[in-house]
Structure 1
Amino acid sequence: MRIAIIAHLFGYRDGQGRVNLEVAQAVLEAGHELTMVGHECSEKLSSHPNAIFVKIQESSIPTQFMRNWMFAIRSARWLRKNRTRFDVVQANGFVTFEAVDVVAAHFVHSSWYKHPSYPFHMPTARPYVIYQNFFTWFNARVERSVYARAKAVVAVSRRTGREVQDLGIDADKIHVIYNGVDTEVFHRGKGDRTHFGLPEQGNYGLFVGDIRTPRKNLETVLRAMPELPPLSLAIAGDPAGSPYPALARELGIADRVFFLGKTSEVALLMRSVDMFVFPSRYEAHPLVLMEALASGLPVIASAFIAEGEDFVDACLLLPDPNDAGALAKQITQLLESPALREELSGIALAQAQQMNWAVTTRKYLNLYEALAKSS
């Protein structure tokens, strides 16, 4: 087959970029021809003899919204000239104004905009709040037409699939394909707390994610900490502009909370802690949660992101992600029960094997083959 994928990134820098990289590698390993259209691409992919990388230079105009808009214009211009060369064209959400065969839904802006935890509905004239409202509103308006024009929509979780269907998209063309996890990199094993500057003794929880905005919900974890003197917390995320170091000091827990910054060594960090705490208020399908399961960590996750998904049995569910008292009780339950930790760890490891990258990419290839045959 001759396949084209349009996305901003094909690489390890973020979750969507990693999915694109894994799918692209699988396409090439299967002997197909691949053209990638984007801002940035791994050299391993771009140098492959069956691959072409069409670089769209990122615009220098201000705001991410305008840069995304320019990318969509330029990718559409390229696709209009080259569409007949391909059997299947895939796009990652709204990245082009042209219709494509497959759209991957990694995030449904319409659902986040309506979510009770959406933080920017407050009446204010602050430019940042106005911009965030406009950014989300615009993406919510355009994504329905993007999904409607595609022959197939890949939803990265069952809930995401339901959210796409709620936009009026035919359920028959929605395919749930979970993001995968690298079970060779993420696994149980010996950690190294000193490598991250962590005291060696004691129990550690881990939080990984964006800590500059409230969506990932570090706040509830910190507010649970005063009730948990036996627990320290490691936090992997960029603290620049984050309100949470100040909150940790205000709560009197700064001596037990370690802001590690962003790290490329998340796998080693996960082997160095005792549990993963992730009460996120909204997610499509968090890759980091899959990595925690593959590392054999007991996981506490908000019910909103885990209920109804294949990995639900591997998690303790927090019904209300804003309930710090309930979270403290669940963490205490894990701390006091080595048997429960081991039970959850075993379920997590087994589940991760069913959600590795080989499973994910095979499903993408099967979809491409079905679409190529039907065209």
Structure 2
Amino acid sequence: MKLCIITPWVVKGNGQGRVNYEIAWEAIRRGYHVTLLASHVAPELQQNSQVNSVQFSVKKLPTELLNEIIFAWRSAQWLRQHRQEFDLVLANGAVTWAASDVNLVPFVHGAWLQSPLHISRGRRDVYGFYQWLYTVLNARWEKNAFLQAKVVVAVSHRVQQELVDIGIAKEAIEVIWCGVGLEEFFPGAGNRKKFGLPEDVPLALFIGDIRINRKNLDTVLHAMVDVPELHLAVVGILEGSPYPQLAEQLGLSDRVHFLDNPSGIVPELMRSVDIFVFPSRYEPFGLVVIEAMASGLPIVTAITTGASELISPECGVVLSDTEDRKGLAEALCQLASNPELRHRMGKAARSVAEDHSWQKMAQRYVDRFEELSKR
């Protein structure tokens, strides 16, 4: 089979890019030839004899929207000239203006536009208008791309329902959850001193964009007030974040420890804590959740996070309401005070994650590609 993958990123250090990276390697393992239409491709893929890398190096334009338009146009022009060379074309959302056989959907802009959390509803300025325009245009282009594809793959059942809500036929949609690197994220003893974190206390971890309210750190901090024995490590970009000040106002400065988005340390940091808390208000999947599961951590999240579909009562707590501070505090309190429960849940979480390795995820995709190509 000759496979063409269209996406700006085919690298490990990017969520959507990692999915495509693993799909490419699985196709290579099966002896297929892979052509990558991308801006950034991992060197090890470029050097593989089964890979043809067609890179569209888009110059950095003033906005991400313009960069994406140029990439969509150039990739479509190229594919129209070479489409007959491929058995199957995989695209990602509205990344190209050419039709694809399979469209991988990590995010539905049409659903995000309707969310009360959309940035344009909180900011009535030029940036807010830009975010509104960006989402409107992507929503239109995405829907057209989804309707043209033979199969649309959602990264969670939550995304599947969002696709149905914007008018995509349910029978055209399949769900393949994202994977996780089991060799990178695994249970073990970490080193809290390395991160300046307190020892001999129960410690929870929150990771996300803490400059916006979508990830819901505010509810976590308010819940922390009612769990006095628990400490919390927060990883995110501090510049422009209101949450250090909120933690101080709530009297939590001695128990909430902000780490300014240090890169490359998340796996070891996860091995250094006891609980992972992530009740995001809007999250199509949430790779960080399955990474925490692979690290052997009990999970506290919310039903609005796509990865919550993987969490049973044996390995974590899924809140039905992201604003339920009392319920969140109760879950954290129960885990903070019960090391045996944490161990049992963490072990169950790791077991679930082992069935969702990157390789197993990629195998599911390529199995589906083979079925389609036979037709």
What is the Cα deviation at residue 308 of structure 1?
Answer: 7.7
Q: Which amino acid aligns with 2:197?
A: L
Tell me the equivalent position of 1:134. Answer: 133
- Do 2:308 and 2:318's aligned partners in 1 also have CA atoms closer than 8 Å? no
Aligned 1:141-290 pairs, distance under 5 A: 141-262=140-261, 263-290=263-290
- Do 1:296 and 1:346's aligned partners in 2 also have CA atoms closer than 8 Å? yes
For 2:42 and 2:77, locate their aligned partners in 1 and report how far apart those are by CA, in whole Å.
24
1:342 and 2:343 matched: yes
Distance 1:307 1:23, change over 3 A: closer
Report sequence identity in percent: 41
For 1:59 and 1:204, locate their aligned partners in 2 and report how far apart those are by CA, in whole Å.
44
> What whole-Å deviation, never above 9, does each CA across 1:229-278 have from its counterpart, x for those lacking one?
21111122222222222222222212222221222121111110000000
Tell me the equivalent position of 1:65. Answer: 65
- Do 1:302 and 1:319's aligned partners in 2 also have CA atoms closer than 8 Å? yes
For 1:301 and 1:308, locate their aligned partners in 2 and report how far apart those are by CA, in whole Å.
7
SS for the counterpart of 2:309 is coil
Q: Which amino acid aligns with 1:373?
A: K
- Do 1:104 and 1:155's aligned partners in 2 also have CA atoms closer than 8 Å? yes
SS for the counterpart of 1:366 is helix
> What whole-Å deviation, never above 9, does each CA across 1:189-229 have from its counterpart, x for those lacking one?
11111121212231111011222222111121122222222
- Do 2:184 and 2:267's aligned partners in 1 also have CA atoms closer than 8 Å? yes
Tell me the equivalent position of 1:316. Answer: 317
SS for the counterpart of 1:34 is strand
RMSD (CA atoms)? 1.7
Tell me the equivalent position of 2:362. Answer: 361
Unaligned runs of 5+ in 2: none
Tell me the equivalent position of 1:30. Answer: 30
What is the Cα deviation at residue 304 of structure 1?
Answer: 2.2
For 2:264 and 2:354, locate their aligned partners in 1 and report how far apart those are by CA, in whole Å.
22
Q: Which amino acid aligns with 2:243?
A: Y
TM value normalised by structure 2: 0.95
Q: Which amino acid aligns with 1:140?
A: A
Distance 1:12 1:79, change over 3 A: same
Tell me the equivalent position of 1:91. Answer: 91
What is the Cα deviation at residue 288 of structure 1?
Answer: 0.8
How many residues align? The count is 373
For 2:138 and 2:222, locate their aligned partners in 1 and report how far apart those are by CA, in whole Å.
33
What is the Cα deviation at residue 84 of structure 1?
Answer: 1.0
SS for the counterpart of 2:260 is coil
- Do 1:306 and 1:317's aligned partners in 2 also have CA atoms closer than 8 Å? no
Deviates more, 1:277-286 or 1:238-247: 238-247
Q: Which amino acid aligns with 1:64?
A: E
Distance 1:23 1:307, change over 3 A: closer
What is the Cα deviation at residue 306 of structure 1?
Answer: 5.4
SS for the counterpart of 1:227 is coil
For 1:58 and 1:170, locate their aligned partners in 2 and report how far apart those are by CA, in whole Å.
34
